[in-house]
Amino acid sequence: MIKIRDLRVDYDNVCAVRDLSLEVEPGEVCGLIGPNGAGKTTTMRAMIGLIEPTYGEINVMGVDVRERPQDVCRVVGFMPDFPPVYEDLQVWEFLDLFAASYGIPRDRRPLEVGRHLEMVGLAEKRAAQVVELSRGMRQRLMLAKTLIPQPRALLLDEPASGVDPQGRIDLKNILRRLAEEGRTVVISSHILAEMNEFCTSVAIMEQGSLVVSGRIDDVNRRVMGDSLLSVEVLGEPALFLAVVRADPRAGPLERKNGAYEFRFRGDALAASDLLAALIHQDVRVASFVRRRDNLEDLFLKVGSRELA
């Protein structure tokens, strides 16, 4: 579990993070979202102990970052947005360096290095010089480096930037698997559509402050207040319109791409009740889709409200 309380970080005359409190449960993939300069990277760097906060408490997997910084790095893996590498090493030597840094015994290192190269799809580049790798490959190498010590929590800052589509799919699968294994992942990215697919919770930052955080459904409910229903009906829509307009939980209707879309203040059960009512009234429903707003919508809504 990651627990941050009253975190404040100041740079030269700039307050980068202001009294931020955040909790991320084990097994959660938390998307840290915000515009440039919101304080996402600073928060991550403070979580790993790279930046000493002005004040505040950070506890990662039961380890206090300020009191036991040497222990924090054993439980957390950090991957920055731009992957720094030693260009004068070979790919396997680079991973071996970090395997040794994390105390993996000498005889186990070749196995671990091979396994992680395989995992990120760089097995063929094992003996290549790091300088020869493309940006995306370096990003994969960095991911392998981050995973090699088997961290219980992962902090990934823009991990998909520069990675090709196949690499993004691989990354997505790796993250899903890590979350299934019970590891806590905090990930910041500007590609909100992709984060939407694997984030279970979200923390939206704006100008150094946390605007909203929690599980995506909860945040959605709090911020958007409802879900979006998209219904396609066959034949005359009058009956359908009457049923929907009679339901107090339904918002104004809008016709989009041949379907009716409207906001609906209710959970999945309430939506199924509405569908049952429609069928009961002999409305010929061709499709009935309940859609939660994605992170992009959420971010835009929270951001615009905050800026306003």
Partner 1 sequence: MSGDRLREWLDNPILVKHVRSRLRKQPLAVAIVVVLVFCLCIVWAGYQLQTFATGQAFGLLFALQTIILVVMGATQVGSAVGAARASGILDFHRVSPLTPNELTLGFFFGAPIREYVLFACTLPFSLLCLAFGTPTLHGFVQLMVLLIAAAWVFHGLALLNALLAKARANPRGVVGLVIFVVLFGGNLLFGLRRSAALVDMDLRLTFYGMSLPWLAVVLLHISAVLFFVFLAGRRKMGSERIHPLSKIQAIAAQATLAFLLVGTIWRRDEYAALEIVTLYLLVITAVLLILMVTPNRAEYDKGLWRARKGGKSHLGWWDDLSLNRVFLAIICVIVLATATLIWNGDMGQQASTIMPVPTGSLPLAIAAGVLVVAYFGLAHQYFALRFGARGKIYFGLFLFLAWIFPLLAGSILGMASGPLYAGRESEVIFSLSPIAGIGLTATTGDTASFSKGVQASAITPALLFTFVFNTLLVSARRMAQRAFLAAADSTKGQSKEQP
Distinct helix (H) and strand (E) counts, the chain: 11, 14
The nearest distance, CB 213 to partner 1, in angstroms, is 13
Give dist(CA 212, CA 209) in Å, integer: 9
3-state secondary structure of 287: strand
99 to 138: interface string for partner 1, x by CB under 8 A: -xxxx--x--------------------------------
Residues 135-154 that bind partner 1 (CB under 8 A): 145
Residues 266-295 that bind partner 1 (CB under 8 A): none
Query: Cβ closer to partner 1: 81 or 296?
Result: 81
Q: What is the helix (H) or strand (E) element at residue 21, kind and residue range?
A: strand 14-24
Query: Cβ closer to partner 1: 55 or 197?
Result: 55
3-state secondary structure of 153: strand
Which of 199, 174, 159 lies closest to 29, judged by CA? 199
Buried b (16+ CB within 10 A) or exposed e, 66-77: eeeeebbbbbbb
* Residue among 1, 89, 123, 275 that touches partner 1 (CB under 8 A): 89
The nearest distance, CB 230 to partner 1, in angstroms, is 32
- Residue 52 interacting with partner 1 (CB under 8 A): yes
Contact 165, 128 (CB under 8 A): no
Interacting residues toward partner 1 by CB under 8 A: 6, 8, 10-13, 18-19, 48-52, 54-55, 70, 72-74, 76, 78, 80, 82, 84-86, 88-89, 93, 97-98, 100-103, 106, 145
